Amino acid sequence: MKILLNLNVEALSKKRVVDWGYTENLEAASFNHFEKWVAQGKHEPLKYLSDERKEKRKSLKSVFPKAQSALVFLFDYRAAKNYQENLDPQNKIAAYSIGFEDMDYHYWIKERLIEIATSLEIDHYDISLDVHPVLERDLAYRAGLGWFGKNSMLIHQNIGSYFLIGSLIVHKKLDLTQRHLETDHCGNCRRCIDACPTQAILENERTLDTKKCISTYTIEIFKEASAPTGYPNKSNEVFGCDICQEVCPWVKKNSGENRIDSSWLVEFFNRSQDEIYGEINSLSNREFKTKFKSTSLERLGKKGLLKNLKKANLG
Ligand code: B12
Ligand code: SF4
Ligand code: SF4
């Protein structure tokens, strides 16, 4: 653990890192599950999962040719779960979107990863954070950080799954010990399966039918989408979906550290849908971009958010 002596626990916690792990195993442990899932078309409509980059997920080397090891960090957003209880249940937005000072986590976590690399004096590395063809849950699994829950989330024994995964892909091996792989702790539980309003969870495969998932409908597909069966009747999600995590017994509240004291996104959505719809509808596309700049909702665009609020395809 020599190298991490430079980075004490308190410093990591200020960066919202709740746990980290190390692996020199560059090959995905579950690529065959991924391949089968794609072959069954369960990734539809997310075409980027089946294009020419599909095979690259087999090994970190094919994405980052200089990779020799990876430091994997879990960025905690449980504070959002605590704070979100103030939110009007009519308009639920994904906890992660308020968990990092209302910022799009790609910006927020990337900065923290660079700070961590600097403090560890790691000069040669790449960052893996959502955009590359990497099975990131699998990478965290290989670093001993959790197991694949039935809802497909990577679950950590002490925290649950309210964290995002960001990694430093290091161009040398470090003097660190790898943890053992985590074992499955779902047991006979099936709360997530029963709670999912659209029956999107593929019970025996620990993954989803993507086209049925509310998260896909409200974050990934905009104009062309029709709502999955079961939504919106039982659901008020207007951006993302946390239902299968809210019911998971492993998802723990945090004990008060890293508190969120304010969130303009929560304030914004904490009123009637008609009021919100009216305000968004009155904005030009450019004004929408300015208003939601650097938040996770920016890329939805005006039309995407209006669609989510009305839960209907606006063409
Ligand atoms: C595409 C995608 C989505 C899609 C598809 C979801 C999915 N399950 O894949 C949609 C839009 C639906 C989505 C939704 C969400 N996402 Co998303 N998403 C991704 C992305 C970009 C790729 C995921 C991917 O490749 N999926 C491929 C499928 C096949 O993987 P899988 O479902 O995890 O299945 C694995 C297991 O089944 C495993 N497996 C099955 N059986 C067994 C048995 C054994 C022994 C083993 C070892 C493995 C194993 O093998 C499969 C392949 O690894 C990743 C970032 C990344 N680059 O990895 C983020 C990511 C997975 N998403 C994330 C988050 C936070 C979310 C949401 C919570 C956001 C929200 N609030 O709405 C929801 C959660 C929905 C859910 N229950 O999964 C986080 C998850 C963090 C965590 N703790 O797990 C990630 C890792 C982003 C990040 N950098 O942190 N997402
Ligand atoms: S994120 Fe929502 S819709 Fe998707 S699987 Fe979980 S509960 Fe179902
Ligand atoms: S709700 Fe139960 S079955 Fe689903 S992921 Fe959590 S522990 Fe596993």
The model's pLDDT over 244-263, given as tens digits with 9 standing for 90+, comes to: 999 999 998 776 667 888 89
**Residues forming beta bridges with residue 129, ordered by sequence position:** none
**pLDDT reading at 1 higher than 60:** no
Residue-level pLDDT at 12: 82
Which of 51-55, 63-67, 271-275 comes out lowest in average pLDDT? 271-275
Q: Write down the mean pLDDT value for the chain.
A: 91
The model's pLDDT over 109-118, given as tens digits with 9 standing for 90+, comes to: 999 999 999 9
**pLDDT reading at 84 higher than 80:** no
**pLDDT reading at 228 higher than 50:** yes
Residue-level pLDDT at 261: 83
* Side chain identity at residue 259, one-letter code: R
Q: Residue range 167-191: average pLDDT?
A: 96
Which of 15-29, 110-124, 170-184, 252-266 comes out lowest in average pLDDT? 252-266
The model's pLDDT over 127-166, given as tens digits with 9 standing for 90+, comes to: 999 999 999 999 999 999 999 999 999 999 999 999 999 9
Which residues touch 40 (CB under 8 Å, ≥6 apart)? Answer: none
Using alpha carbons, select from 179, 185, 109, 96 the residue that is nearest to residue 141.
179
Domain ranges of the chain: 2-78+102-170, 191-310
pTM of the predicted model over 0.75: yes
Closest ligand 1 atom to 163 CA: 83
Closest ligand 2 atom to 242 CA: 1
Extract the runs of DSSP E, i.e. beta strands, from the chain.
17-23, 69-76, 92-93, 125-128, 147-148, 154-155, 163-170, 201-202, 207-208, 237-239
Of residues 306 and 233, more confidence is placed in 306
Cβ atoms within 10 Å of 257's Cβ, excluding its own? 12
- Ligand 1 midpoint to CA 51 (Å): 17
Q: Which of 19, 88, 130, 194 is catalytic?
A: 130
**pLDDT reading at 312 higher than 90:** no
Q: Residue range 277-283: average pLDDT?
A: 96
pLDDT band at 314 (very low <50, low <70, confident <90, very high): very low
> Which amino acid residue places its CA nearest to atom 8 of ligand 3?
186
**Three-class DSSP category at 59:** strand
**pLDDT reading at 313 higher than 50:** no
> Which amino acid residue places its CA nearest to atom 3 of ligand 1?
216
102 is catalytic: no
